[in-house]
Structure 1
Amino acid sequence: MKKLLLLSCAFVIATSCGTTSKNNATTSHSETTKITDPTIYASTITAEELKTMLYKYASDEFEGRDTGEKGQKMAVEYLKQKYITMDIPTPLGDDDYFQEVPLEKQKVAEAKVVVNGKSFESFKNQIVLAIPNDVDITLNSIVYVGYGIDDENYSDYKNIDVKGKFIIAKAGEPKDADGNYITSGNTEETKWTNGRQSLSSKREAAKANGAIGLLYMDNNLFPRYAGFYQSQFSAGTAGRLSLKNNDNGITMMMINETLAKALNPTISEDTTPKEIDTTINLEIKNKTESIMSENVVAFIKGSEKPNEIIVISAHLDHEGIKNGEIYNGADDDGSGTVAILEIAQAFKTAEKAGHGPKRSILFLHVTGEEKGLLGSRYYADVAPVFPLENTVANLNIDMIGRVDPERTEGTRNYIYLIGSDKLSTDLHQISEEANSKYTQIELDYKFNDDNDPNRFYYRSDHYNFAKNNIPVIFYFNGTHADYHKPSDTPDKIEYDLLETRTKLVFYTAWEVANRNDRVVVDKKVSE
């Protein structure tokens, strides 16, 4: 990467007006900061360098960067060497740029379930979704928790103790007399209503309330899951990756109405939580393979407010190899990955010129995004390198190298912004002003709508920060015909747009890092 010439020029420009001769006093630090022009450092971000790096990073050599596989290991080593070359240190000490993320790959398990002497078959009546340990237990009761919702406006756990117990819940969310969902007070679906997000939310609610097992009735999802899980079981292939539970997990099964009614005959119409006396014999063998993956972290320490951290993130993984074809993931998310490298170079150039950011910058490349936001979830929920209360904002970059073919209005020089105003009015205004001042990109908030059916706000790594009340911006160009296909290759990237969008992220980060006051959180976490 270019360094010396630009660094010299930047130093001359940034300091020539800020100092007098050796015989006179030097201007104050605040005066020097005031005249600093970030366009000097943004000029180190170029389409040429982005292209060179992306052709390497999204090449067949990296085998699609599947989490935990050879190509992903090559990818993290590539990133590490880039930071070493740029002389940007790691916050982990020595040359350890890797935050290890323990994962497990679980093969589909077959369960033996007997309720009051009657057996219920795997894949016909029940499916094992998650199991942290072997289960061989006889239960004399199970706790019914209605919809399994635990929200500030409504909770099925309010008057019942589920600690150390198996529970049963059903899909869906109740409505009030006016037809509004009870947690939101309007007709728009929430994270509790339906589908996979509902399943995940109810699992987390059960876990948070101390349950050790959840049997979840979902008649809509069950037929779809049953066929897939049975085929995986028959083939003996591994299931999806998950964070290693370390005994903190919960056994979770999806069940159909037949099994659910054997446990609670009135489950379809009944929503009252209660403990049900019944005899359940449950036997499941845990079939997991431990896998270690890595987040890559690099760090520039703030000059004035080092304990306040801005996290700039992108995911380093992709889909790997399927049916002999390599999924290169040039846009998703090679584009975000190389963008961070260029942004890091720009900040390092500023630091070497004596104008490092006031606040610290963490460059975070997360693993396992394609497997369920695993790397960012590990960082935010399990082992943050810096305390989350010290994290000012997260700028997350996921696909910024292409044009959305469905976008029929406006210019090609656009970017979709998601989440910028959901937690912080400050951050939204900083973003708008940085763009107006420096890049003049058309900012499109189409997918920022709370009612966006794509729910992109919940589908990339920024969400694991947002759910912890950390203001976020998600930079996104939209999907296209090559999304999650082997045809997402570097030759299809529009490098002039990638350069401009990368500069926008840099300028926004620059403003957040160097303003006097920390970004204010003035809104609650969006559900």
Structure 2
Amino acid sequence: MKKSLLLGVAFAIVTSCGTSSKSSAKTTQNNIPEQIDPSVYASTITSAELKTMLYKYASDEFEGRDTGAKGQKMAIEYLKQKYIDMDIPTPLGGNDYFQEVPLEKQKIAEIKMNVNGKTFENFKDIIVLSNSKSITISASKIIYVGYGIDDENYSDYKNIDVTGKIVLAKSGEPKDNNGNYITTGESTDTKWSNGYKSLSNKTDVAKKRGAQAILFIDDDLFSKYAPFYQRQSAGNIARRLSLKSNEKDILILMINETLGKALHTSISEESTPKEIETNVTLEIENKSDAITSENVVAFIKGSEKPDEIVVLSAHLDHEGIKNGEIYNGADDDGSGTVAILEIAQAFKAAEKAGHGPKRSILFLHVTGEEKGLLGSRHYTDNDPIFPLVNTVANLNIDMIGRTDPERTIGTRNYIYLIGSDRLSTDLHNISEEVNNTYTNLELDYKFNAENDPNRFYFRSDHYNFAKNNIPVIFYFNGTHDDYHKPSDTPDKIEYDLLENRAKLVFYTAWEVANRDQRLVVDKAVTE
């Protein structure tokens, strides 16, 4: 980046108009409000610098930046050096820009199960869906929880304590005499009815209730999962990366009806929850490997409200190398990564000129997004560097360097915004106002609908902040033919658009960080 440009704007102050000027005003010695024009600092964000950085960051040298792999380690060193060169410190102290993210490369676990002296076999009768360690469990009682539902209109957990116990739940959901589901009174499937979604929700209930393990009976799912798990085990294949949590884990097992009836003979006919006396022994061998990846963090301390934090995020990882081909990930999410660097440069220029943000800015480059939003989930769920209650907003950038070929109406100078109005009217209004004042992009809310079939709101790192009622905006250009392919290369980036979009994020962050009042969360989700 051009250090000479930073020095050139260090003392530039001009009069501005619009919402940002009002909230950014500081007082001179004569108590006359000094108006600060953020466009002076936004001018440090240039397509030329974005292009230079992205051609490096999305080059073959970085080997696709696969989580935990050599290329990802090179990427974090690159980002660290950029922040050192800009003289932007780390919030972790010293020279430590890396927040370690403990991960596990999960492989299929081995299990032996004995019920009242009878042995049941792995893959034939039972499979381990999730476990965090090798463990042996012996119990003389289990808790049958019927369908395992805990809903406002119906609960299988009334008057039953499952803390530290093994629970047994079956698939499906009860219906009333009219053939409608009890939880909703409607005939359409619910989150409790069938399939993996049902398993996930019933597991969440058992975990919240303090169960040690859940045995889930679903013959249909078992017949589909068991052969796949057996093949993965035979090949010693790592199934997926998972995040090690500070929370106590729950052992999740799927079983067939044969094993289910061995545990409770009347399981097909009876749905009444009860304690069942039965001698059960489980021996589980965890074959997974621990690995470590890293988030990269840098920080500009606020001048007036340093304990209030605005988080700017982008994911640093991509798909790595597959079948000998490098997945460079120039748009996904090299574009967001270099945009954050340029935005950081702009805020640093303002700070050097004596116009640092009132609130603190955390520049957060997260790992493992492609593996399930792992780096951002570690930040919010396991190790928030700053308390979430002090986090004012998260502006998340994931793919802002291309155009959506499916978008046939409107100008090319657009950006999809997702989530801006989900939690805070303030944030949505600020976003609109700064765009009208400075950038004049076409703000497209196509994917912001709650019924968006693509579910983009849940598919990038902002979601881990949003689920904690922190206002978010997700900046996105949409997918294209090169999405998650080796052909997502830096020569296909439209750098003028990347510059404009990065400036919009900067202006929005500037206003959020400098306004007198913290954003109001007027649409908080309670669940």
Q: Does the TM-score normalized on the shorter chain lie above 0.5?
A: yes
Counterparts of 2:59 and 2:120, CA distance in 1: 48
> In the alignment, which residue of structure 1 is the partner of 2:162?
162
Residue 383 of structure 1 deviates from its aligned partner by 0.9
Counterparts of 1:189 and 1:419, CA distance in 2: 27
> In the alignment, which residue of structure 2 is the partner of 1:229?
229
Counterparts of 2:193 and 2:88, CA distance in 1: 45
- SS state at 1:310 partner: strand
> In the alignment, which residue of structure 1 is the partner of 2:24?
none
Structure 2 residue identity aligned to 1:318: H
Q: Is the 8 A contact 2:303 2:356 kept in 1?
A: yes
Q: Is the 8 A contact 2:417 2:448 kept in 1?
A: yes
Residue 420 of structure 1 deviates from its aligned partner by 1.4
> In the alignment, which residue of structure 1 is the partner of 2:48?
48
Q: How does 1:91-110 map to 2 (within 5 A)?
A: 91-110=91-110
Worse-superposed segment, 291-300 or 318-327 = 318-327
Structure 2 residue identity aligned to 1:26: Q
Q: Is the 8 A contact 2:245 2:382 kept in 1?
A: no
Counterparts of 2:315 and 2:521, CA distance in 1: 25
Residue 218 of structure 1 deviates from its aligned partner by 4.4
Structure 1 residue identity aligned to 2:319: E
1:145 paired with 2:148, answer: no
Unaligned runs of 5+ in 2: 22-27
> In the alignment, which residue of structure 2 is the partner of 1:366?
366
Residue 92 of structure 1 deviates from its aligned partner by 0.5
**Closer, same or farther: CA 94–407 of 1 in aligned 2, 3 Å:** same
> In the alignment, which residue of structure 2 is the partner of 1:287?
287
Worse-superposed segment, 468-477 or 188-197 = 188-197
- SS state at 1:13 partner: coil
Residue 260 of structure 1 deviates from its aligned partner by 3.5
**Closer, same or farther: CA 278–391 of 1 in aligned 2, 3 Å:** same
> In the alignment, which residue of structure 1 is the partner of 2:25?
none
Structure 1 residue identity aligned to 2:479: T
- SS state at 1:422 partner: coil
> In the alignment, which residue of structure 1 is the partner of 2:519?
519
Structure 2 residue identity aligned to 1:379: Y
- SS state at 1:11 partner: coil
Residue 228 of structure 1 deviates from its aligned partner by 3.0
Residue 299 of structure 1 deviates from its aligned partner by 0.4
- SS state at 1:464 partner: helix
1:424 paired with 2:427, answer: no
**Closer, same or farther: CA 237–509 of 1 in aligned 2, 3 Å:** same
Residue 354 of structure 1 deviates from its aligned partner by 1.1
1:26 paired with 2:29, answer: yes
Residue 83 of structure 1 deviates from its aligned partner by 0.4
**Closer, same or farther: CA 339–262 of 1 in aligned 2, 3 Å:** farther
Q: Is the 8 A contact 2:318 2:327 kept in 1?
A: yes
Residue 390 of structure 1 deviates from its aligned partner by 0.3
> What is the CA deviation profile of residues 212-247 of structure 1, one whole-angstrom value per residue up to 9, with x for unaligned ones?
112234455444433332221111122311122468
> In the alignment, which residue of structure 2 is the partner of 1:206?
206
- SS state at 2:480 partner: coil
Residue 8 of structure 1 deviates from its aligned partner by 2.6
> What is the CA deviation profile of residues 148-190 of structure 1, one whole-angstrom value per residue up to 9, with x for unaligned ones?
4556676544432111111133456677899998778989987
Counterparts of 1:302 and 1:429, CA distance in 2: 23
Structure 1 residue identity aligned to 2:29: T
> In the alignment, which residue of structure 2 is the partner of 1:507?
507
Worse-superposed segment, 179-188 or 221-230 = 179-188
> What is the CA deviation profile of residues 124-160 of structure 1, one whole-angstrom value per residue up to 9, with x for unaligned ones?
3322122222222332222233454556676544432
> What is the CA deviation profile of residues 361-380 of structure 1, one whole-angstrom value per residue up to 9, with x for unaligned ones?
00011111111211111111
Counterparts of 1:190 and 1:462, CA distance in 2: 26
Counterparts of 1:391 and 1:174, CA distance in 2: 42
Worse-superposed segment, 140-149 or 71-80 = 140-149
Q: Is the 8 A contact 2:175 2:182 kept in 1?
A: yes
Structure 2 residue identity aligned to 1:168: L
1:472 paired with 2:472, answer: yes
Counterparts of 2:479 and 2:262, CA distance in 1: 44
Q: Is the 8 A contact 2:9 2:349 kept in 1?
A: no
1:349 paired with 2:349, answer: yes
Counterparts of 2:374 and 2:486, CA distance in 1: 23
Counterparts of 1:68 and 1:222, CA distance in 2: 32
**Closer, same or farther: CA 168–434 of 1 in aligned 2, 3 Å:** farther
**Closer, same or farther: CA 472–110 of 1 in aligned 2, 3 Å:** same
> In the alignment, which residue of structure 1 is the partner of 2:135?
135
**Closer, same or farther: CA 3–450 of 1 in aligned 2, 3 Å:** same
1:251 paired with 2:251, answer: yes
Residue 86 of structure 1 deviates from its aligned partner by 0.6
- SS state at 2:63 partner: helix
Residue 516 of structure 1 deviates from its aligned partner by 0.9
> In the alignment, which residue of structure 2 is the partner of 1:492?
492
**Number of matched residues?**
518
**Closer, same or farther: CA 75–150 of 1 in aligned 2, 3 Å:** farther
**Closer, same or farther: CA 8–443 of 1 in aligned 2, 3 Å:** same
> In the alignment, which residue of structure 2 is the partner of 1:440?
440
Residue 57 of structure 1 deviates from its aligned partner by 0.9
Counterparts of 1:187 and 1:513, CA distance in 2: 48
**Closer, same or farther: CA 131–387 of 1 in aligned 2, 3 Å:** same
> In the alignment, which residue of structure 1 is the partner of 2:300?
300
Structure 1 residue identity aligned to 2:88: I
Q: Is the 8 A contact 1:467 1:526 kept in 2?
A: no
> In the alignment, which residue of structure 1 is the partner of 2:122?
122
- SS state at 2:9 partner: helix
Counterparts of 2:332 and 2:321, CA distance in 1: 15
Structure 2 residue identity aligned to 1:333: D
**Closer, same or farther: CA 189–340 of 1 in aligned 2, 3 Å:** farther
Worse-superposed segment, 377-386 or 131-140 = 131-140
> In the alignment, which residue of structure 2 is the partner of 1:389?
389
- SS state at 1:417 partner: strand
> In the alignment, which residue of structure 2 is the partner of 1:22?
none
Q: Is the 8 A contact 2:401 2:498 kept in 1?
A: yes
Counterparts of 1:188 and 1:398, CA distance in 2: 35
Q: Is the 8 A contact 2:358 2:513 kept in 1?
A: yes
Structure 1 residue identity aligned to 2:409: E
> In the alignment, which residue of structure 1 is the partner of 2:449?
449
Q: Is the 8 A contact 1:132 1:245 kept in 2?
A: no
Counterparts of 2:491 and 2:478, CA distance in 1: 18
Counterparts of 1:7 and 1:173, CA distance in 2: 66
Residue 273 of structure 1 deviates from its aligned partner by 3.4
Structure 1 residue identity aligned to 2:419: G
Counterparts of 2:191 and 2:14, CA distance in 1: 49
Residue 475 of structure 1 deviates from its aligned partner by 1.3
> In the alignment, which residue of structure 2 is the partner of 1:39?
39
Structure 2 residue identity aligned to 1:487: S
TM-score, normalised by the number of residues in structure 2 = 0.90
Worse-superposed segment, 436-445 or 333-342 = 436-445
Counterparts of 1:128 and 1:147, CA distance in 2: 20
Worse-superposed segment, 414-423 or 300-309 = 414-423
Counterparts of 2:326 and 2:79, CA distance in 1: 20
- SS state at 1:500 partner: helix
> What is the CA deviation profile of residues 187-210 of structure 1, one whole-angstrom value per residue up to 9, with x for unaligned ones?
998766666565444434332321
> In the alignment, which residue of structure 1 is the partner of 2:275?
275
> In the alignment, which residue of structure 1 is the partner of 2:312?
312
Counterparts of 2:224 and 2:55, CA distance in 1: 38
**Closer, same or farther: CA 100–475 of 1 in aligned 2, 3 Å:** same
Q: Is the 8 A contact 1:466 1:525 kept in 2?
A: no
Counterparts of 1:427 and 1:525, CA distance in 2: 16
Counterparts of 2:177 and 2:266, CA distance in 1: 22
